[in-house]
């Protein structure tokens, strides 16, 4: 996993979990293996970017995760100008 791909992967996971998503939905949206999605979700839960709803068995983006996603998108927007 390269640094570049990690930012994209975090973005895809956070977008997928915005309205609640199962692990398989997140895995599909972010194009990850089971092992990879487990590692990402574990790290993202530790950092309060997503939370797991045991009752619904879904992952949800937290307020902190939404803020982080907004920042990722803004940085990407500004970087797109730098590449032109």
Q: Is the pLDDT of residue 82 over 70?
A: no
Residue 77 confidence class, pLDDT cut points 50, 70, 90: confident
Distance CA 65, CA 78 (A): 20
Q: Mean pLDDT for the chain?
A: 90
Please tell me which residue, 70 or 4, carries the higher pLDDT value: 70
Q: Is residue 76 classed as helix, strand or coil in its secondary structure?
A: helix
Question: Topology of domain 3-82, per CATH?
Answer: Arc Repressor Mutant, subunit A (1.10.10)
pTM exceeds 0.95 for this model: no
Q: How many CB atoms lie within 10 A of CB 64?
A: 14
Domain ranges of the chain: 3-82
CA gap 84, 49 in Å, rounded: 32
37-66 pLDDT, tens digit each: 999 999 999 999 999 999 999 999 999 999
């Amino acid at each position: 996993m390269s640094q570049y791909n990690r930012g994209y992967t975090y973005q895809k996971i956070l977008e997928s979990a915005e309205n609640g998503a199962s692990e398989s939905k997140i895995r599909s949206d972010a194009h990850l293996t089971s092992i990879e999605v487990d590692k990402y979700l574990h790290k993202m839960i530790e950092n309060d970017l997503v939370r797991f709803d045991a009752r619904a068995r879904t992952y949800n983006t937290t307020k902190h995760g939404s803020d982080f996603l907004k920042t990722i998108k803004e940085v990407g927007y500004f970087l797109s100008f730098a590449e032109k």
